[in-house]
Structure 1
């Protein structure tokens, strides 16, 4: 349980970096950031795939189809929604909406995976979910108040950003559940190999997307300079760093956690991503956290710890 929790914490610390990219590259289209990040992820996976080629050769055609589905929905489409949401609404609103993932995934998995993981009664599950939800609400109220004080509120852009973030929630509710299904059904398989497989499956999708973006810019006479934009070295370096840390290390750590923990528990541990994203945003802003934000963080952590102590009835977990 605690080893899986530490892996989930590492994944959250790495995934929190994905909220930083759109804030550091506001002039870059969200689609280019999504394709650039996963192009880096795929390229990083190639030499690792060669080293692990014997294990990868044991994957079936159905396994590769699953890896392709996960790469498309959980990588490309998810980050396209998220980066677009951050461009339109800034950091706080998307962070708030993405922060509901622990609650959404816990509710869905408690209903969906009861036979495998055991079922928690809603009376057992409700306290931890309320703590997490209240913590997320409080943290983001503080963030939104700060944004209002800066005079940077555009309701129409925020509404669009909120809708895009909701699309990201749908993608990332499906991804961990589907990913956990495969890992739990293939307990003898290495999470390392499965992370490599997802990276390899992501590469052709990212190449097609990046090429399509370039062709679209040429066809529409877009002024944005391709292939790497107005800050090519910074863009390449940042995409490489996010591809390595968030996509590769984060995916590997999450696979390790998903193989060790019940789905309803590992789903709630996505809260670590929210905490990391808020911490990185404060570092970029150069401000100390306010009292309300610290209280919200305490509620989030308390909810996670309470969730880890729960045990369901029945199931094989």
Structure 2
């Protein structure tokens, strides 16, 4: 496990404290950008799931390739081992994960997939605890997070237009997405710690190019036929599809990955895992805004528990 090599330091000097604070801020900002992906499939329900996924990741790959091209004089290209690692992690954390999530949201709505994905912090925290940090110190954050998830699940409004078979399939897809991203979070953090010579931006770009290739392969195998895609782009949904794909590719993928890599380099895997709760919080906020409704009392209380869980974990890791 990646966290087994960490040494927990209870007191930080000024420089380390600044580095730690930057890591916290970057992790939270990444969560805010990732939260958009839960609402995006609902913005254009007429767009096929595979096309939306491929569009997002081709945009990410194009942005990463452009940045790499502009910086060739100052940045190096990955070697074979690094390229292979980027390709494998890109499937776990991007193309495979997001396709599963898009399909889950289409089948089960936004709330339950967001809540299932919201348990990632629990698994990552358990798998990435630094040496020297007592389990008792992590317990308050874990309890608050699990309590928030239980409260939200108990008070969910559900998806009345979805039949039972689709709902169950959506939950299963959400669990599969959870497994993919949990593995990505742990393995990605471990890779960055083993390779400190690779900057957060370089690694995000390498992942992006690999993800873009994966997006093209995904579209060629399971996406719409060229004629259908051309008709989609020329139709009333065309502009919205392009704008959404660019927003998700550049914002929720390229920029969010840079921010997350910075957090992963500065924080333990367990604290990074807890910060992923912010993705769930923002996803719920965006969902309520999109639906034009206020959260119920149970949902508001759950959001408060999530927030307290993040604060408790930050305090424990100090």
SS in 1 for 2:293: coil
The answer as to 2:250 corresponding to 1:253 is no
Partner Cα distance (1:120, 1:82) in 2: 33
Residue in 2 aligned with 1:27?
A: 46
Q: Which among 68, 79, 92 is matched to residue 60 of structure 1?
A: 79
Structure 1 residues 124 and 236, CA, compared in 2 at 3 Å: closer, same or farther? Answer: same
Contact 2:41 2:106 in 1 (8 A): yes
Q: Unaligned regions of 5+ residues in structure 1, if any?
A: 111-116, 219-223, 313-317
TM-score by length of 1: 0.87
Query: 1:64 offset after TM fit, Å?
Result: 1.1
For 2:302, the equivalent position in structure 1 comes to 296
* Map of 2:24 onto structure 1: 5
CA RMSD between the two structures: 2.0
- For 1:196 and 1:55, locate their aligned partners in 2 and report how far apart those are by CA, in whole Å: 14
Corresponding position of 1:199: 208
- Structure 2 CA distance for partners of 1:58 and 1:239, relative to 1, 3 Å: closer
Cross-structure match for 2:158: 147
Distance in 2, Cα, partners of 1:101 & 1:274: 10
Paired with 1:283 and 1:296, the residues of 2 have a C-alpha distance of 17
**Matches of 1:27 and 1:173 in 2, distance apart?**
30
* Cα deviation, residue 291, structure 1: 2.2
Check whether the contact 2:120–2:182 (CA below 8 A) recurs between aligned residues.
Answer: yes
Question: CA offset at residue 20 of structure 1?
Answer: 1.5
After TM superposition, give the deviation of residue 181 of structure 1 in Å: 1.0
The TM-score, its normalising length taken from structure 2, stands at 0.87
Deviation string, structure 1 residues 275-316 (Cα, Å, up to 9, x no partner): 01000001101112222222111111111111112249xxxx
The answer for unaligned runs of 5 or more in structure 2 is 1-19
Q: Is the 8 A contact 2:57 2:211 kept in 1?
A: yes
Counterpart residue number, 2:190: 181
Residue 265, structure 1, aligned to residue 271, structure 2: yes
Q: CA deviation at 1:56?
A: 4.7
Distance 2:81 2:167 in 1: 40
Preserved CA contact (<8 Å) 2:47 2:241: no
**SS in structure 1 opposite 2:229?**
coil
Change in CA separation of 1:46 and 1:85 when aligned onto 2, cut-off 3 Å? same
In the alignment, the residues of structure 1 paired with residue 283 and residue 263 of structure 2 have an alpha-carbon distance, to the nearest angstrom, of 20
C-alpha separation between the residues in 2 aligned to 1:147 and 1:250? Answer: 29
Could you tell me which residue of structure 2 aligns to residue 226 of structure 1? 229
- 1:169-188: CA deviation from partner (whole Å, max 9, x where unpaired): 01100111111112112223
Do 2:107 and 2:162's aligned partners in 1 also have CA atoms closer than 8 Å?
A: no
Range 203-212 or range 271-280, more displaced? 203-212
Where do residues 233-248 of structure 1 align in structure 2 (5 Å cutoff)? 233-248=239-254
**Residue of structure 2 in register with 1:113 after alignment:** none
Specify whether residues 122 and 41 from structure 1 end up closer, same or farther in structure 2 by C-alpha distance, changes over 3 A only. same
State the secondary structure of the residue aligned to 1:244. helix
The number of residues matched between the two structures is 296
Is 1:157 aligned to residue 176 of structure 2? no
Selected match of 1:128 from 141, 159, 164: 141
Q: Quick one: distance in 1 between partners of 2:186 and 2:259?
A: 16
* Residues 273-292 of structure 1: pairs in structure 2 closer than 5 A: 273-292=279-298
CA distance in 2, matches of 1:157, 1:90: 10
Query: Which runs of structure 1 show a deviation greater than 4 angstroms over 4 or more consecutive aligned residues?
Result: none
Contact 1:55–1:193 at 8 Å: present in 2 too? no
- Once the two structures are superposed, residues 176-217 of structure 1 have per-residue CA deviations (whole angstroms, 9 ceiling, x without a partner) of 111111211222321011111111111221112222235x74
CA drift at 1:157: 1.3
Query: Displacement, 1:155?
Result: 2.1
